[in-house]
């Protein structure tokens, strides 16, 4: 997913305010599902809600006003009632990795009770799992696999 940085995204130092990256990551996960033909709003109306339950994030370098960013989302682990996505934020003009995050989401009901991830969603996520040799080392903070960059770059 692509995003442009506007004045409203920056802090007093002129760099993107750290909490805004959480919004960008959320949008990118939503777009990941949209590209797969699944709408998050429809899943929620069917009783499948996916809140973030754990987040690890590494801010490597700041984004600034008018930067054009690419956010890449890749499933890394799929469990019975949760999954983890590794997400990368890169500056488009130079390919510099600015942020890397490992986000764990649980599948819950509207009553906030854990439930199993539906088979259709599980298969969708498993088809895109990040291969360990191409991605993270020691389970976190790896490099973006080239195939993921190609898959996320608009035509």
Residues serving a catalytic function are 11
DSSP 68-135: EEEEEEEEEEE-SSEEEEEEEEEETTT--EEEEEEEEEE-B-TTS-B-PPPHHHHHHHHHTPPPTTTS
Smallest CA-to-CA distance from 64 within 22, 1, 23, 9 is with 9
Helix-strand-coil percent breakdown of the chain, rounded to 5? 30, 30, 40
């Amino acid at each position: 997913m692509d995003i442009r940085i506007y004045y409203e995204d920056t802090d007093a130092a002129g760099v993107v305010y750290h909490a805004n990256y959480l919004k960008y990551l959320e949008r990118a996960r939503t777009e990941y599902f949209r590209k797969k033909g699944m709408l998050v709003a429809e899943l929620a109306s069917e009783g499948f809600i996916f809140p973030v339950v754990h987040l690890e994030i590494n801010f490597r370098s700041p984004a600034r006003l008018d930067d054009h960013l690419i956010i890449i989302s890749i499933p890394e682990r799929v469990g019975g009632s949760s999954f983890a996505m590794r997400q990368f934020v890169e500056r488009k003009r130079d390919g510099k990795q600015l942020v890397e995050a490992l986000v764990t989401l649980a599948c819950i009901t509207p009553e906030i009770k854990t439930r199993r991830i539906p088979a259709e969603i599980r298969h969708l996520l498993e088809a895109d799992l990040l291969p360990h040799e191409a991605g993270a080392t020691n389970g976190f903070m790896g490099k973006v696999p080239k195939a993921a960059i190609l898959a996320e770059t608009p035509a």
